[in-house]
Amino acid sequence: MPAPTLTDIVTARSRISDMVHRTPLARSFALSRFMDADIRLKLECFQDTRAFKVRGAANAILSQQEKGPLESLVTYSTGNHGRATAYIATRLGIPATVCMSHATTEDKQAALAEMGADVRLVGSSQDEAHDLALKLAEEGMTFVDPINDPASTAGHGTIGLEIMEDFETVDTVVVPVSGGALISGIAIAIKASMPSVRIVGVSMENGAAMYQSLEAGRPILVEEVEGLADCLQGGITLDNTHTFATVRDLVDDFVLVSEDEIARAMAEGMHKERLILEGAGATPIAAVMHRERSMFGDNIALVASGGNAETQSVYDVAAVHRQAMETLMGSAAR
């Protein structure tokens, strides 16, 4: 399947407008001072599901519903896409099943159950959850694909439209990367209208499937490693239809951040921005805090992709790493 076009993304915005919020693009005074730049946070953690995934799930499900009634939905997820699918399914009155690995945290499993989803646990990786979801789809359920559905990618691309409209001078957009649908949609939207804007992907050092696939020149299987950015775990699927090629062709740079760097970024989010961010959602902050200033422009949008972390765990991480964060940021700009 081909990647979506800018027209598809514009159509998606109209289609999902009743299901998602236009999220704030809030200036970070602390990061702006540190970087001597205008840095703004695209707060997807303020969606009803507390993550950006609702955009893609809404567009994918509503697109399929336009073709005919849907009796049941199935998907696979490390958490946020499952939550998004369950939320849209509930809004539409459609049963939803979410396949997850046994490695998924209990709080994420419980959140999905509370939303009415049927949670199916299998194996120890997202790849195994993917295989179970496909099996259930073959038995008659409608599959909601978080990676390989252009409609899902188009839904995420609506973030790019909002960034361009709210930040006309933007020159760099930093985006977390897992399967690549989020950064693909944003890159397609922005590059079509503002090709000079740099798109920078960011993921964790261990288990970065898209990064390792780009290094290999093809989609590959990557072992999942437990860490703070668990929502970025999971493969891009060996039969990847468009996100691999889109990231390869449109993303200008890709950086990996360590566990300590993610932790300091979560501390910055809590103590400076007053935000509870999951590790994945904090990775763009980690990138600007810990990578060369020359990698970024002067007007930078960071996509804070989600805030679905256990509150106490974020408190604990932020408390332990606050001093290191304060020392790093200091009192002067970079």
**Residues 145-186: pLDDT tens digits?**
999 999 999 999 999 999 999 999 999 999 999 999 999 999
Report pLDDT digits (tens) over 1-53: 789 999 999 999 999 999 999 999 999 999 999 999 999 999 999 999 999 99
Q: What is the pLDDT of residue 233?
A: 86
Domains of the chain and any CATH numbers: 6-51+150-329 (3.40.50.1100), 53-143 (3.40.50.1100)
Radius of gyration of the chain (CA): 18
DSSP assignment of 105-154 equals: -HHHHHHHHHTT-EEEE-SSSHHHHHHHHHHHHHTTPEE--SSS-HHHHH
Is residue 81's pLDDT more than 80?
yes
Containing 254, the helix (H) or strand (E) segment is: strand 253-257
Q: For the chain, how many residues are written? A: 334
Q: Which amino acid is at 123?
A: G
Q: How confident is the model at residue 297 (pLDDT cuts 50, 70, 90)?
A: very high
Q: Which long-range CB contacts under 8 A does 310-316 form with residues at least 24 apart?
A: 310/105, 310/107, 311/276, 314/266, 314/270, 314/276, 314/277, 314/278, 315/270
| Mean of all residue pLDDT scores within the chain | 95
Give the phi and the psi of residue 41 in degrees, each rounded to 5: -105, 120
Secondary structure (3-state) at 193: helix
Residue 3 · residue 245 · CB < 8 Å: yes
What is the rounded average pLDDT of the residues 304-322? 94
